[in-house]
Structure 1
Amino acid sequence: MKKGKRFRLKQLRRSLSNLSGLPLVAIAVFGIASSLIAIRHFGKLEAWELYAYDRFVRLRPESPPDPRLLLIGITEEDLRQQKQWPLSDRAIAQLLQKLQALEPQVIGLDLFRDFPIGSRRERLVEQLQQPNVISIRSIDTFAGTAPPPEVSPEQVGFNDLLIDPDGVVRRNLLFAEGEEGGLFSFSLRVAIEYLDSLGITPQSSAKNPNNLQLGQGVFVPLRAHSGGYQNADIGGYQILLNYRSGTPVAREISLTQALSGAIDPAWVKGKIVLIGSTAPNLRDIFFTPYSPSASLGERYKMSGVAVHAQMVSQILDAATGARLLFWYWSERQELLWIAIWTLLGGGVGWVFRHPLTVFCSGAVGLGLLWSSCFYLFLRGGWVPLVAPGLGFSLTLGAVAIARSYDSYRQRQIVMELLGQNTAPEIARTLWQARDTLLQSGKLPGVELTATIFFLDVRGFSSIAERMEPRDLLNWLNELLDAIAREVLTRQGIINKFTGDGLMAVFGIPLPRDRAEEIALDAQHAVECALAARDRLSELNQNWQPRGLPVIQIRIGIFTGAVVAGSLGGKDRWEYGILGDSVNIAARLESYEKQRQPDSCRILITQETLNHLRDRFEVESWGSLALKGKQRQVKVYRVLHRKNED
């Protein structure tokens, strides 16, 4: 097989191994998405979604004051001047007469006048009956306030406001059912009267005859699940109130200024004039999405007449195409939106592993979600933010935790298979490549070139016969610990302890792609053998005065092809190294056991010598027939490093 094909096959196997945990992501996505949808359906996320809506309202650019409107507010100072509340019929009649002289297009009186107050009632009735004057009433006149009895119903609108459970006005009720039948809102009556001068009259939408259309604006009523609402009371004909700004919606003057004539005629002529109370003591003030804004005061409230002005401005802008009305996705689209972000959270948790990377990726994902929702909001779209945000975060966290646990489990498997006798550098490399190495909890067989290292104690049986088992164990552990340290220092792996010896391997479990790497493994093995000889000399000197055995060891080293991987059954396995190379190394170690020139005999073959790069002094033993091998091999005894004296 060509090298390029082998590389592509390796990449394919790696990709497939990374997909093994995708069912975990699917389960997490399905479970969390289903739970969120259920929680959302019962309205448990509505308060958070409304909070997000208010935040968006405060963050978007504000529109300048509406030049088509003038507000005349009844302030605390006005009440002191009038020394009366409610205002007398005479005072209101005088105000309306002065305004009519300035030729307004519409006058909206947001004051109840259902019965006479003071004198000159006939003068007030005369003014209220002017065709451009709109008065107010309550929807329910039994519990509320009736309209002025002398005024035509076409010149009266209800001023009731819809207040959400948290006390904030976010909706604009255009039509309602009263005891007399269908009723228009105060703001809608005022807007229709003004738009009539522009040739814009109410009509049914071409797409849906049940929807009101004014000019370019089609007023699609709110549904129970529109935007962030869940199971909202949608009685009447409601739309979402698109506030113009949190600052004064239009030019505002006081009642005293208006009565004194301190009004520029340009402020009134052809405009809409709204009259209402703004004094906080009159309690006609409401919370709006702007209420928590620090720039407007911690608990800023908006007067009722200002809220109606916001509604009038919204209707006028929609009819003229100046501002969009809010739109919403269908329930199915919103559920799909939530599912997509939940899936993205699971994907981020699956792809990234490092805690810092997961955190940063999560922050970027939530930022992208927030930016997307705010972008749509600026274009009139109110789409869920909290539900997909929770779905993204919870799935990200769940998958990241599960992946962390899975990583811990994989680490346990690797350590169980390779044992604790692995150099730190090798352990880090193994852990970084665990997706490639681990398949179904096992290390699949890998063909590679490695250097095998066998060590055994000469005459161990007779030594064991003379020592107590506990003393024998302690003495042997002292020897093997010293040898193991030399193996680990040179990036070798101790595959197994053989009672009175050990088997180590240099060059596993990751295949070596370059000849230089294979040669370095062989050199490390021989250096380890020479270091073991030095440690043995030190140990013998230490043991002799303690009455412990002074020993000799044999080492066999061979470099060649092996297969490395999990060996065993379902419930028990170990990391196995198989191949003829292992047998040759073992035969070298046990060859002619009585032929022991010094305390540490180190035998290698031509295959290992080829990789030593002439760095070690060796002694040829000729071509030997090893036990169980049909062909002879060239054997050499390692003497010392060439830089030694």
Structure 2
Amino acid sequence: MLSKLADDVKSIFPDIGGVRVVAIACLTVSSVILGVREAGWLQPVEIAAFDKQMRLRPDVSPDPRLLIVGITESDIRAQNQWPLPDRVLAQLLTKVQSLEPKLIGLDIHRSTPQEPGNAELRARLQDQNIIVIKKFGDTNLDFVPPPPGIPDKRVGFNDFVLDPDGVIRRNLLFVSDGKKTSFSFSLRLALAYLKSQGISSQQSQQNPEYMQLGSSVFVPIKADSGGYKKIDDRGYQVLLNYRSRIIARQVTLTQVLQGEIDPSWVKDKIVLIGTTAPSAKDVFGTPYSPAEQENAKMAGVVVHAALVSQFLDAATGARPLFGFWSERREVLWIVGWTLFGAGLAWWCRHPLVLILGCGVGVGILLGSCFYWFSQMSLWVPFSSPVLGFILASGIVITYRSYDAQQQQKIVMKLLGQNTSPEVAKALWRGRDRLLKSGKLPGIKLTATMMFADIKNFSTISEQMPPEALLEWLNEMLDVFTHQVLSHQGIINKFTGDGFMAVFGVPMNRVHKEEIAEDAIRSVKCALAISDRLEELNQNWKSRGLPVIQMRLGIYTGPVVVGSLGGKDRLEYGVIGDSVNIASRLESCEKDRQESNCRILIGHETFVHLHEQFLVESWGPLPLKGKQQMVDVYRVVGLDRAGESESGRRK
């Protein structure tokens, strides 16, 4: 599939230093990632990353402008009634008012009387600094009106918008049905508090439809802002920038009624009153919930405090609102990291460097996202670029592996035409050393060499046209090469009218049994060549081509194998005195040609044959260039049962 894809884009990307592969991987992965992201499948991962960053960033101290009066389980048990009677709430409001708060936010529904004390509560709710709640709910049946007789300017809805996982990450400011705009409970409190400081909401110069408090513009989030995709963005929403796990100081209902709180905690503060008891089921998941073992969920009144604190901080410039990149910039961010991953995987060839590079790359990505999140309140996509980085690098690595396999097949095929698969594998295994130094180091081992040559070849070549001679030679050498390879030898080189074959390389044969096995295979190969030569001669004779006689020399001994030449021209060389002796065995006593294929071996080969062959001793003979005589034997054939013992040399 990768090769087909590469062929399809050859006309688009130049094949320069892997540019084409990197470009294909980048475009393919980016397209898939962006498609998956657009479908919303990465949203759970992105919001999980958002929560993690929220928990990791440094906490801000509790907001000193707020006080939360929570109605706890102990308070409910102390009052022995739920819902609390109106008289208790009236007493609570009276106590709080006596301490001169700036505002009181009552996050408790009182659309119907809870006697006794409803008249007292209604009278108390007429105070102009008290803001109450209503609830829209999901349907008309869920609608809960505010307490009667309270003007709209002191009423706010306490509905939250929940993410698909039930966590509160967004702040709903107001909603409109086209005729009437309803403000949230937290926004009512914040606007009333800021008004006393000379700050009011206004239209933004950036966009008349955006609300601005102080210098902060509340840009509404869209369905695809940040890591979101296809969320419900109805109404006017911004991302909730939690202050910390602890939003503000909290006291209990009982503490207030018994006068056990410091008046400075209340004076000129915003006091939010609501239920914190889990039994009231007014608790919600937050980004901090996964890290909390107890009381993982946050009470609704505390969430409202977080919303109010966000408004106040944004209006005064203490903490910025969360921002987002444009869709175009997010796409460039994702594509850029995908391209980086693909490029890194292509140009980092060493596995350790590649692993370190990928680790550093992901670390930089994670660090950048967290820096922008914690220091600049900017939510940048994290999972999409990470996934693109990993997938793109993985595809390039896979392609490189695939390409290496294809190259190996080609190299093995090319090498295997002149050498055995074993030599080709050895060269491939040592390709790193070849690339580094341009050659394979020499290895000393014991092998069996075979030299083959045609008798009177010069005379034959004079009688044939060059084209016919070449075709005739190729036909012969193809047959002989097949015999060498089938007997696990290698053709080290062709000598025009002959060849040099080696048995026992490139593996280091150290055991005597292995060396003997190589010697036996070489002699069997020589006999097989002799048999095939008889067949070839009969065929050539019928075709009017020359018939030939051959000489083979075989010798077993130590050699050194490795690369010969320079970087521009290399060959797999076999050198040593044993090679010279094998060559001299082939050419010695040229006139003694008892058969069409004469096979001569040295004593060092003979001792490994274990009486498997019929041989004829020629005795010690002088070889050209050698000072010492060499014991020479002629191989007659395989030793058959019942053959005469007289022809066997032990």
TM-score (norm 2): 0.70
SS at match of 1:390: helix
Change (3 A) 1:506 1:251: closer
Aligned-residue offset at 1:394: 1.1
Deviations 1:66-91 (A, max 9, x none): 11111000011111122222222211
Q: Separation in 1 of the partners of 2:627 and 2:294?
A: 87
Aligned-residue offset at 1:389: 1.2
Q: Separation in 1 of the partners of 2:26 and 2:49?
A: 24
Aligned-residue offset at 1:217: 1.7
Change (3 A) 1:512 1:196: same
Q: Separation in 2 of the partners of 1:395 and 1:550?
A: 68
Deviations 1:50-103 (A, max 9, x none): 111111111111111111111000011111122222222211111111111111
Q: 1:313 aligns with which of 291, 309, 315?
A: 309
Aligned-residue offset at 1:186: 0.5
- Corresponding residue for residue 538 of structure 2: none
- Corresponding residue for residue 322 of structure 2: 326
SS at match of 2:410: helix
SS at match of 1:109: strand
Q: Separation in 2 of the partners of 1:229 and 1:268?
A: 39
Change (3 A) 1:549 1:305: same
SS at match of 1:108: strand
1:131 aligns with 2:90: no
Deviations 1:398-418 (A, max 9, x none): 111111111111122222222
1:529 aligns with 2:611: no
1:65 aligns with 2:62: yes
Native 8 Å contact 1:73 1:254 kept in 2: yes
Q: Separation in 2 of the partners of 1:529 and 1:431?
A: 29
1:115 aligns with 2:112: yes
- Corresponding residue for residue 249 of structure 1: 247
Q: Separation in 2 of the partners of 1:123 and 1:48?
A: 51
Change (3 A) 1:539 1:137: same
Q: Which deviates more, 214-223 or 280-289?
A: 214-223
1:501-540 to 2 correspondences below 5 Å: 507-508=563-564, 511=567, 525-527=575-577, 529-530=579-580, 532=582, 536-540=602-606
Native 8 Å contact 1:129 1:152 kept in 2: no
Native 8 Å contact 1:292 1:299 kept in 2: no
Which one-letter code corresponds to 1:410 in the other structure? Q
Native 8 Å contact 1:457 1:551 kept in 2: no
Native 8 Å contact 1:138 1:159 kept in 2: yes
- Corresponding residue for residue 444 of structure 1: none
1:259-338 to 2 correspondences below 5 Å: 259-293=257-291, 296-297=292-293, 300-338=296-334
Q: Separation in 2 of the partners of 1:225 and 1:478?
A: 66
Change (3 A) 1:185 1:551: farther
Which one-letter code corresponds to 1:408 in the other structure? Q
Aligned-residue offset at 1:373: 1.1
Deviations 1:273-326 (A, max 9, x none): 100000000000001111110xx2167100000000111111111111111110
Change (3 A) 1:487 1:127: same
Q: Separation in 2 of the partners of 1:501 and 1:24?
A: 51
Q: 2:89 aligns with which of 87, 92, 96?
A: 92
Native 8 Å contact 2:53 2:370 kept in 1: yes
Q: Separation in 2 of the partners of 1:436 and 1:412?
A: 23
- Corresponding residue for residue 33 of structure 1: 30
Unaligned runs of 5+ in 2: 1-12, 439-448, 458-478, 492-499, 509-524, 530-550, 554-559, 586-600, 629-650
- Corresponding residue for residue 417 of structure 1: 414
Native 8 Å contact 1:455 1:501 kept in 2: yes
Native 8 Å contact 2:484 2:501 kept in 1: no
Q: Separation in 2 of the partners of 1:267 and 1:363?
A: 49
Change (3 A) 1:601 1:110: farther
- Corresponding residue for residue 195 of structure 1: 194
Identity within the alignment, %: 43
Aligned-residue offset at 1:478: 8.8
Aligned-residue offset at 1:260: 0.9
RMSD (Å), alpha carbons? 4.1
Which one-letter code corresponds to 2:216 in the other structure? G
Change (3 A) 1:299 1:98: closer
1:404-553 to 2 correspondences below 5 Å: 404-419=401-416, 420=421, 422=423, 426-431=427-432, 456-457=451-452, 477=487, 484=502, 488=506, 507-508=563-564, 511=567, 525-527=575-577, 529-530=579-580, 532=582, 536-542=602-608, 546-548=612-614
Native 8 Å contact 1:71 1:273 kept in 2: yes
Aligned-residue offset at 1:434: 6.3
Q: 2:19 aligns with which of 10, 18, 22?
A: 22
1:339 aligns with 2:405: no
- Corresponding residue for residue 76 of structure 1: 73
Which one-letter code corresponds to 2:271 in the other structure? V
Q: Separation in 1 of the partners of 2:284 and 2:617?
A: 96
Q: Separation in 2 of the partners of 1:389 and 1:96?
A: 53
Deviations 1:501-558 (A, max 9, x none): 79x9974575279xxx99xx99x73546247579843114556955445699xxxxxx
- Corresponding residue for residue 648 of structure 2: none
Native 8 Å contact 1:162 1:169 kept in 2: yes
Native 8 Å contact 1:373 1:383 kept in 2: yes
- Corresponding residue for residue 569 of structure 1: none
Change (3 A) 1:461 1:292: farther
Unaligned runs of 5+ in 1: 1-15, 438-453, 463-468, 491-496, 553-596, 603-615, 619-645
SS at match of 1:484: strand
Aligned-residue offset at 1:354: 4.6
Which one-letter code corresponds to 2:195 in the other structure? D
Number of positions where the alignment pairs a residue of Structure 1 with one of Structure 2: 511
- Corresponding residue for residue 361 of structure 2: 365
Q: Which deviates more, 347-356 or 382-391?
A: 347-356
Q: Separation in 1 of the partners of 2:260 and 2:563?
A: 96
